[in-house]
Amino acid sequence: MITGYSDHAANERTYLAWVRTGIAVIAFGFVIEKFNLFMLTLTGAALGNAVPGSLIARAQGRFGRYDGLVLIVGGVVLVVLATVRFMRITRLLDDGRQHEARSVRTELILSGWLVMIVASYFIYLEFG
């Protein structure tokens, strides 16, 4: 029998939830990248070959070039941080002593980052 099994199981469920969120962010980044490529191709076809490339680049916008890449990199960072947190919490649970819950700040920062990215993309799509 594993000592503190319920604590370890809760830690693993939290880890898997963060990994699932990271994978979803990565997938969303890929979707945005492919959509941007589709829109550039569509713009190029609609405007014809005589239109300079700078006009097509302007149609994509400044944010449109990097938004999918930011989400892909952010998702990878999220999975790495979740793995580090999981290993640290597992070590603390196996230690057997009482420890303070001071790692809440990391989860709040990551959650806030995700909200800001999604909100900025919504604003870009709505008003950009």
In the chain, % of residues over pLDDT 70? 72
Q: What is the pLDDT of residue 1?
A: 63
Confidence of residue 79 (pLDDT cuts 50, 70, 90): very high
Domain limits for position 68: 5-127
d(CA 105, CA 60): 36
Say if CB 47 and CB 55 are below 8 A apart. Answer: yes
* pTM strictly above 0.85: no
Amino acid at 3: T
d(CA 26, CA 13): 20
d(CA 31, CA 10): 31
- Give CA separation, 115 vs 74, 112, 118, in Å: 12, 5, 5
Q: State how many domains the chain has.
A: 1
